[in-house]
A = this chain, B = another copy of it.
Amino acid sequence: MTRRLMEGSEAMAEASIAAGCRFFAGYPMTPFTELLESFARRLPEAGGTCINAESELEAVGMAWGAASTGARAATGSTGQGLSLMQESFSEMTRAELPMVIFNMARGQGDYFQSTRGGGHGDYRHIVLAPADTQEAVEHTQLAFDLSDRWRNPVLIYGDYLTAHTSESVEIEPMEFPELPEKDWAVDGTLGGTGRSRTVNPLGVDKQSAGIDPEALWNRLQAKHDAIEREEVRVETGFLEDAEVVVVSFGGVARFVRHVVRSLRQEGHRVGFVRPVTLWPFPYEAVAAAAESASRVAVLEQNAGQMIDDVKIGVLGRAPIVAIGGISTDPSGFGVGDILDPAVIHERIRGVLSDA
């Protein structure tokens, strides 16, 4: 395959199919719509199924059913739609179902929801936040792998930019180490043998007298800890002698990277930390960067959410300044004033001059 000019949405759908995704269900909502359209067009050609679900609740249910059979399945939405799916996300995680969730967000206001789980109870998704189209392609494939590997939903935090920017990309199926067999998946063949299976979020097993939450929980907690140890991903740049460290993620980080590069060219001692996984969060990388910095600036397109994680990472080592803010564009799609290199340039300059 060679590089093609492709919209982010289309590229993510193609990457999913390359990763073996065979089921998708979704309900239109800007800027998620084009992802759904791409799946609707391409999945049947690839021998899969894409259902134009009648609502997000139904979409996530369908994907849950499909994933239960062992198929690589995905769903997604935007804002409101993701909120509606939270009940399912919570319980699906307890059921240890692999699933890829595309959050094509309007801005970055869903950080808490994505990283802490917006639903009831204790659960986490692995969250990948690509910064550009090529990375979205790689993250998509990685997501399917991680999801199967950990038997845990993986969420891709995209946004209007990720969805709608067309760039030249290359979609090659990526190689991953071998995965465990999906012996838990239902195919109907074990009925009547006494070994029939259950995909169950309640922790009820066949022949059990009821819920065994302790066993279930210990397993989930151990997995949670292992993911926190093994799956942290982070990108850093220009940190060596940085006085100011800028922390940002996703589409916004692409702007920050660009601006920091030009500030360096202007001779400013500024660097960046970009969490690639939002959960597990790169606390150590943030702590290390803060060690020698005189200020940590957090640029996120929301009212201040990731800043909590930055605080937990920095733990008082350096003052933290919020230089982001919610997206106030009238379309409501999260393409507000912040997304302007000149604005970001100015805000970082502000922190530099205070530092």
Task: Judge if A109 is at the interface, Cβ distance under 8 Å.
Answer: yes
Residues of A105-136 whose CB lies within 8 A of B: 105-107, 109-110, 112-113, 116-122
Number of copies: 2
**Of B86, B87, B214, which one neighbours A328 at CB under 8 angstroms?**
B214
Q: Which of A10-18, A38-46, A186-194, A303-311 contacts B (4 or more CB under 8 A)?
A: A303-311
Pairs A-B, 7 closest by C-beta atoms: A118-B118, A79-B120, A83-B87, A122-B303, A83-B119, A109-B121, A112-B116
Across the two chains, which residue of chain B brings its CB closest to A79?
B120
How many A residues face the partner with a CB closer than 8 A? 51
Task: Judge if A350 is at the interface, Cβ distance under 8 Å.
Answer: no
Q: Which of A164-172, A205-213, A261-269, A341-349 contacts B (4 or more CB under 8 A)?
A: A205-213
Beta-carbon contact of B120 and A303 below 8 Å: no
**Of B87, B109, B211, B308, which one neighbours A84 at CB under 8 angstroms?**
B87
Task: Judge if A330 is at the interface, Cβ distance under 8 Å.
Answer: yes
**Of B87, B107, B118, which one neighbours A80 at CB under 8 angstroms?**
B87
**Chain A residues close to B by CB (< 8 Å):** 78-80, 82-84, 86-87, 90-91, 105-107, 109-110, 112-113, 116-122, 202, 210-214, 217, 221, 224, 302-305, 308, 311-312, 315-317, 326-332, 336
- Report the separation of the CA atoms of residues A91 and B312 in the bound assembly, to the nearest whole angstrom: 29
Beta-carbon contact of B326 and A315 below 8 Å: no
Interface of A is mostly: loop
Distance of A103 from chain B, by nearest CB (Å): 9
Residues of B within 8 A of A308 (CB): 308, 312
- Report the separation of the CA atoms of residues A119 and B79 in the bound assembly, to the nearest whole angstrom: 8
Residues of B within 8 A of A312 (CB): 308, 311-312
Residues of B within 8 A of A122 (CB): 109, 302-305, 326
Residues of B within 8 A of A113 (CB): 116-120
**Of B80, B82, B213, B317, which one neighbours A330 at CB under 8 angstroms?**
B213
